[in-house]
Amino acid sequence: MVTGGIPADLQPAYAECLRRARAHYENFPVASRLLPAAMRPHVAAVYAFARVADDLADEGDAAAAARLAALDQWRDRLRAAVAGRTHGLQDADAPVFAAVAHTIRDRQLDSQLLEDLLDAFAQDVTTTRYGTWQDVLDYCRRSANPVGRLVLGIAGCRDAAAAASSDALCTALQLTNFWQDHAIDWARGRLYVPLEEVAGAGTNLGEFDPARLTDRWRDVFERACRRTRHLFEEGRAVCNAMSGRLRLELRLTWLGGTTILDRVERAGYDMVHARPRLRAVDLPHLTWRALRWESR
């Protein structure tokens, strides 16, 4: 059910976005009931927009040129929707654009943040290796950080310090997802650990064997996880800066990400044979920890 504050003619569009948001597994809650009711449909609209675009880039057997063309079309439709031009399109994705365009106007969001997401998804099509941490973090700046800034904007928060902490949290969550999905990405020919980290551990891509994790590659993953842990610590501040239900949502998000990272570490940084993930049974304990959260 869509909450009040959404025009009657847009209620079905937002309902479709909420349905899509709740249909996908994530390491963190998306448009959950913990969010203030007035925020939920707007967060769902942003998520639905990004989810489809990410799938256009990552899924299926389409050639790279076709995926990039689909993302360009998605960008064009976003710009048209924001400008109030629908072109009479009534396909299955029309509700997503109707909702996200209204959210941008109603919550006074910067639509460039959504275009940054599309830039990152396009980069996924063309880039399979990253030379430096700077390269990886620049990708995260466009693939993850806009989501946090959009959520803050939906909440009406324009604080620069909160935005910076949100960036750290979102980057940490993105990196954790990379480490969690390392085996899947490697099978697709993609690696997010920067090559400078690989070289720093005294190894190379030729030595990586998916069937056996060597000590040097274990060191690569340990270094990556330490950097990620530091970013999570920088991201605690935004969890403390918010109030009410949004504070609890952010704390659960932080705890969900760090729990995945904890499990990677407990597995001896074996990101080859194990894919730790959150399950429904984890939620009560994570909620208890979020309620007993200690600011520091």
pLDDT digits (tens, 9 = 90+) for 168-214: 999 999 999 999 999 999 988 999 999 999 999 999 999 998 888 89
Mean pLDDT calculated for residue range 5-15: 93
Mean pLDDT calculated for residue range 228-234: 98
Predicted confidence (pLDDT) at residue 149 exceeds the cutoff of 50: yes
Q: Give the domain 1-126 fold.
A: Farnesyl Diphosphate Synthase (1.10.600)
Neighbours of 156 (CB within 10 A): 10
User: Is 128-296 in the same CATH topology as 1-126?
Assistant: yes
Per-residue pLDDT tens over the stretch 30-85: 546 678 889 999 999 999 999 999 999 986 788 999 999 999 999 999 999 999 88
Domain positions in the chain are 1-126, 128-296
- pTM of the shown model: 0.91
Q: What is the mean pLDDT of the chain?
A: 91
Confidence (pLDDT) at 58: 81
Q: Give the domain 128-296 fold.
A: Farnesyl Diphosphate Synthase (1.10.600)
Distance (Å, rounded) from C-alpha 167 to C-alpha 79? 25
Confidence (pLDDT) at 31: 47
